[in-house]
Amino acid sequence: MKHRFPEGIRHAYNFGIFNALSYQIVLGSPMVLYGKSLGASATVLGIIAGMMPLLVIFQIPAANHVARVGYKRFVYAGWGTRVAFIFAMAAVPLAGVFLERSSQLALLLFLLFGFNLSRGISSCAWLPWITTLVPESLRGRFLAREAVWVNAASVAALLFAAACLGSNPASWQFAIVFGFSAAMGAVSLKHLKAIPDAAPPEDPARNNATPVPWLDIAGHPPFRKLLIFNVAWAVAYGGMNTFSVAFLKSEAQLTEGRILLLTALSFLGGLSGLWLFESKTDRFGSKPVVSGALGVWIMVAGVWTLLAGQTVPASVAIVAALQVAMGFAFALVNMNNTRLAMVLAPPMGRSHFFALFSVVFNVTLGLAPIGWGLLIDAMGHISTGNSVFAVNRYSVFFALVLVSFAAALVLCRNIEEPKARPLDELLRETLLQSKLRYWLRLWPRW
């Protein structure tokens, strides 16, 4: 039987577009640069980056109420609350007229806490909602298409921010960027409300006082291996975006506008990855795609290590290539990691499986940048080495990240995905039998 997407699913894509135009500013590079402008240390930047994933821990208690409230109402209430916090954040840069920078930073952290708390609670209903709406055979395609639109919107958001901020931006310029984020968040609510609702499956545990068996859920063998992999993946990826931006600003001395333009390239890389692999995930499985993407991450971390160690100059061309590769690899891991959770979480108690999956990954993702920030601050401006390679806070950070990606690759190989095919088959299909072959034919033959 051939499955079709449900009527009205286009509103999920539209929601993803406007949501990305909003959150890419308040959770991405523009917020990191604003924090730097207020004098935030690496540890504080780590807290800003880690707050969003850390507060996903509230999905655990929230999951008990999803079935009673309903998917759409639950998500809509949380997203509406967080949009209100973005409007408040847009006023923080203007408060510099009567507040010191340290007070502005404290106020910003408070508002980010409220924003991320409301997001963390309500997001526990999103994946179960979409999983219920989209047939299993189409989930990979849905996630790929959604990711394409999200990446395209993210490019647009960062280009807008780059145009607004330029070089040495004033407070009012940051206010305009955050105001744009709030407006896009408000528009996303309209499309969220138009997504078809779905009834949560009946869960017998909801009708009695039996506690949710979290240990049994975590101990489910295929699911446990996915959780362990996600811990390693979150540690490796957790500080990459934040501290690569911090490195480019403080060490490479790039302007805010140029950093945002370079960061936007990562989403073009994401689009290219999704273009290549849109139809392959459902045929080959997610495990081989994630394995290949982690190989790319290992190479990326190696080049960043050489840049930070001053072995290779931090030229715009090299940084641009790194950003494209980072976006390419992240899009593939992120999409396929979500699909693995959809595949390995059984229908009964699905909300609780997804809640635990999100909490384990996001709590680690939240703690990782804080830990990396503490390491960077602890090393201070210590620098040693020779003319070939300098050992400093950023070269040590990127080298340890490389090791973490290698560990994640080993753990990925242990994941038990039904119907997954070998990595070499995926590579053969990608290089010889897919869209890429048209580009390979143009390669000069010597």
Q: Does a structural domain hold residue 4?
A: no
Q: Does a structural domain hold residue 442?
A: no
Count of structural domains within the chain = 1
pLDDT of residue 221: 80
Q: Does a structural domain hold residue 249?
A: yes
Q: Does a structural domain hold residue 440?
A: no
pLDDT of residue 84: 97
pLDDT of residue 444: 46
pLDDT of residue 2: 60
pLDDT of residue 428: 61
Q: Does a structural domain hold residue 392?
A: yes
In order along its 446 residues, the chain shows pLDDT tens digits of 566 777 888 899 999 999 999 999 999 999 999 999 999 999 999 999 999 889 888 877 887 888 888 889 999 999 999 999 999 999 999 999 999 999 999 999 999 999 999 988 888 888 888 888 888 778 778 887 888 899 899 999 999 999 999 888 999 999 999 999 999 999 999 999 999 888 776 655 555 556 777 788 887 888 899 999 999 999 999 999 999 999 999 888 888 899 999 999 998 898 888 777 766 666 677 788 888 899 999 999 999 999 999 999 999 999 999 999 999 999 889 888 888 888 887 766 777 888 788 888 989 999 999 999 999 999 988 888 777 899 999 999 999 999 999 999 999 988 887 776 655 565 566 556 555 554 445 444 43
Q: Does a structural domain hold residue 5?
A: no
pLDDT of residue 289: 86
Q: Does a structural domain hold residue 172?
A: yes
Domain that holds residue 239: 11-201+213-433
CATH of the domain at 23: 1.20.1250.20
pLDDT of residue 420: 63
CA distance 256 to 262: 10
Q: Does a structural domain hold residue 176?
A: yes
Which long-range CB contacts under 8 A does 36-42 form with residues at least 24 apart? 36/246, 36/249, 36/250, 37/169, 37/174, 38/101, 38/102, 38/104, 38/105, 38/108, 39/101, 39/102, 39/105, 40/105, 41/373, 41/377, 42/243, 42/246, 42/372, 42/373, 42/374, 42/376, 42/377
Quick one: which of 338, 394, 396, 395 has its CA closest to 150? 338
